[in-house]
A and B are shown apart, each in its own frame.
Chain A
Amino acid sequence: MEQIPILMVGDCLLVSIQVDMHDQLALALQDSLMTKIVDSNARGVMIDISALQFVDSFIGRLLNNIASMARVLDAATVVVGMQPAVAITLVELGLTLSGVRTALNVDKGLALIRRIIDGEERELDRREK
């Protein structure tokens, strides 16, 4: 069965979602990530969705779940590369993805994870007025 590759960059896991996933693949990804976090003692998980042309509530749930589970395992999750069309659609759809931090690209994502791990930033989003 096809798998989505998970890379390790420093103490972060990097996953790039390139295909239109069906349920099985998505759940397999979730499982692999959790296993890898434990096995590699990763402190951060970066999910690159720059190739995703849509995000529906299923994928929204997936991302939230991954972030929650990773948090329990003491790893911070950041989603990067969301496309403008996807962002606009998500806003219209009403999906807030409030359980996940986001960054514009891999570089910024790694920097953000670094700040979270070093305690300079809280992982869960708080909006400043």
Chain B
Amino acid sequence: MIVEKNETMPVRSAEDVVRVRREVRERAVAIGFGLVDQTKIVTAASEIARNTLDYGGGGELRLELLRSGARRGLRLTFTDRGPGIPDIERAMADGYTTGGGLGLGLSGAKRLSNEFDVRSAAGEGTVVMLARWK
């Protein structure tokens, strides 16, 4: 598998979240994702970007264009140095929320992605990776 392209952008403000959605959409279109796949990854990105901002105190997103044989994919890695998630399993359970939201951020984003991974611990920040393949 090759990483064809690689770019980073900040996720530190509400405007950044809007920008993240726009950039992810553009990359998804460039790879040739159909409308439904585009929508899925943009929505997943929106959820995690929001988490990064609201719970992680802001962070950054790395966007990578992947290629594996004839398949192309888009991988998003959100990183923050916030308080971290002490109990990842609980956070991934539907409906669980500490912030009064609908509690779907992590689990929802996972369902919308082909690949998904969360690394976090209390006090150690959080890294969320999600990818979608064509």
Contacts and interface: CB of A to CB of B under 8 A. Distances in A.
In the complex, A touching B, CB below 8 Å?
yes
Contacts, number: 66
Interface string B20-63: 01100100000000011011101100110010000000000000
A120 to B, nearest CB: 31
A93 interface: yes
B46 A58 contact: yes
Interface residues of B, number: 26
B46 A94 contact: no
Secondary structure at chain B's binding surface: helix, strand, loop or mixed? helix
Given A60-B102, A88-B36, A55 B15 contact: no
B121 interface: no
Interface stretch (B64-72, B80-88, B107-115): B107-115
A20 B22 contact: yes
Nearest to B104: A57
A128 B2 CA distance: 51
A23 interface: yes
A91 B104 CA distance: 12
A22 B49 CA distance: 12
Which 6 pairs, one residue from A and one from B, show the smallest C-beta to C-beta distance?
Answer: A22-B14, A56-B46, A85-B39, A93-B108, A85-B35, A57-B102
